[in-house]
Amino acid sequence: MGMFSKAMSMVWVLIIVCTQGQPLKAPKEISSKLSRNPQSLSLASSDYGHIVHETPLAVFEPSSIGDIRALINFSNSLPNPFTIAPRGQAHSVLGQAMAQNGVVVNMTKLNGTRIFVAPCDGKSPLGCYADVGGEQTWVDVLHETLKSGLTPLSWTDYLYLTVGGTLSNAGISGQAFRFGPQISNVLELDLVTGKGDLVTCSAEKNTEAFYAVLGGLGQFGVITRARIPLGPAPTRVKWLHLLYNDFTAFCRDQEHLISMNERNDSNAADYVEGMLLLNQPPLDLSFYPPSYHQCITSLVTQYGIIYIIELVKYYANNSQPIQQVANLVKELKFVPNFRFEKDVSYEEFLNRVHGEELYLRSKGLWEVPHPWLNIFVPRSRILDFNEGVFKGIILKQNITAGLVKVYPVNRNK
C-alpha cells in the first residue's frame, strides 16, 4: 500500500471517462502510462480469435511490476473498480485478453524479469531452471536456454506466445503425455493479485494462489515471473507422419506409443500428436514428397478422413536413432507404405508453425476468425466422438473444419 499511497499524493489528471459518464481521474504516474491512441485501442479490441471485439477505455503500458500494482490499487480505491485484463500476444480466441470499458495491460511493454538461466551445476536442489518474465515469449526462452544446452520440457505447438499467457491456460502439445502441460512444469511464480499485492508462490508456498493462477485465464492475478524446470536439449529430431484409414487402429497405436513411456522403455517416443486430413480443399500436403501427393489425395478421397500420427524421436548430433525409430513403428498398423520421415534440428521442429504463419500472413489468411475448441474426451468415448462428430457432423454435413488435432494424454500428467 505504500506505493499506492505515494501515487495518491501526486497530481490528479483527467484521463478517461467511466461507464457512468462521470470523469475518472488518475494519478499522474498512472495516467502517463495510459494510452487512448486509436491504434492502441483498436489492437486491444481484438485477439487471435477475431470473434469477440470489445473496446477498452484505455491501454496501460507498464514499465515495471510496480506500475501494475499501482493500477490495480487505483482501481480498487474507486467506488466502482474498472475491469483490468493482462494482454501478452493476445492469442485468446473469445476475448479473454480484452476489457470492455476497462483497461488492458500491454504486458509486452514490461521491463521486469527477462530470462535468467541458472547455472546447471548439480548443486541446486531445484535442478536446472530458468527464471522468465511473464511477458517473454516461449521462442525467446528457447533461444536463451539453448545457449546453455538446456530446454524447457513441455511446449505448445506455436512458440510466439507469452509465458504468462500459456500458463494462464494450460499449454498443451505432443510432449504432454510425458511431462504434462506447461502448467504442470512450473516451480515458482511471482504474481500481482487482485488486491495489488506482489506474491511469490509455489506448490509449497501460497499454494492456493499458485494453483488458482495456473490455468486461471488471468482471473486470479497477473503472472510477472515464472521459474521453469529445464532438461538437457537434444540437437536433432526424427519427425514422422504415419497415415491411417482406420480410427480404431489410430487410437490403439497412439495409446501403445505413450504406454512405452510409462514402462520407461528406452525406445519411447518424445512427442506424439495426431491430426485429421479431411477431404476438404485445400489439402495441406507440404510435409510429404511431391511424388506422393496424388496417392495421398486419392486415399483421402476414398475414405473421407485420413488420421495422421505425428511421431518424434529426439537425438544428439553424434548418434542416429535408426533402430529406436524402427522399434517404435514396427508394431503400428498404419497404411502400408504411407510412412514419411524428416530429419531436422530440435529448434526447427519446435518452431515449425512459424513458417506456416508467415505463409498464411502473406496470403492474408492469418488475421481471420479462428474459432477453436480444446476438449478432453475420455478413452471410453473417443470412438463415439469419431463417429458422431468427425464423420456424423463434419463429413456428412460438409462442414469446413480447418485444423483438427487428436492426441492422447495420460491422466496422471
115-232 matches 236-395 in fold: no
Active-site annotation holds for 91: yes
User: What's the DSSP call for residue 183?
Assistant: G
Active-site annotation holds for 387: no
pLDDT of residue 1: 27
pLDDT of residue 116: 94
Give helix then strand counts, H and E, for the chain.
14, 16
Which parts of the chain register pLDDT below 70? 1-24, 112-113, 123-124
CA dihedral of 169, 174, 177, 180, whole degrees rounded to 10? -30
Looking up cell 486470479 gives: 220
pLDDT of residue 4: 31
Into which CATH architecture does domain 115-232 fall? 2-Layer Sandwich (3.30)
Is the domain spanning 236-395 CATH 3.30.360.10? The answer is: no
pLDDT of residue 49: 94
Could you say which of 47, 67, 91, 310 is catalytic?
91
pLDDT of residue 119: 86
Alpha carbon separation from 70 to 26, 196, 364 (Å, rounded) = 10, 7, 40
Domain boundaries 2-109, corresponding CATH code = 3.30.43.10
Residues 6+ apart with CB under 8 A from 27: 7, 8, 10, 11, 12, 13, 70, 74
Give the whole-angstrom CA distance, residue 353 versus residue 173: 12
Could you say which of 67, 135, 273, 310 is catalytic?
273
Closest CA to 376 of 389, 385, 368: 385
Tell me the H-state helices in 86-162: 138-146
Active-site annotation holds for 197: no
Could you say which of 157, 197, 265, 348 is catalytic?
157
Q: Where are the domains of the chain?
A: 2-109, 115-232, 236-395
pTM: 0.90
Residues 6+ apart with CB under 8 A from 293: 285
pLDDT in tens, 170-184: 999 999 999 999 999
Alpha carbon separation from 397 to 43, 372, 391, 393, 401 (Å, rounded) = 35, 19, 9, 5, 11
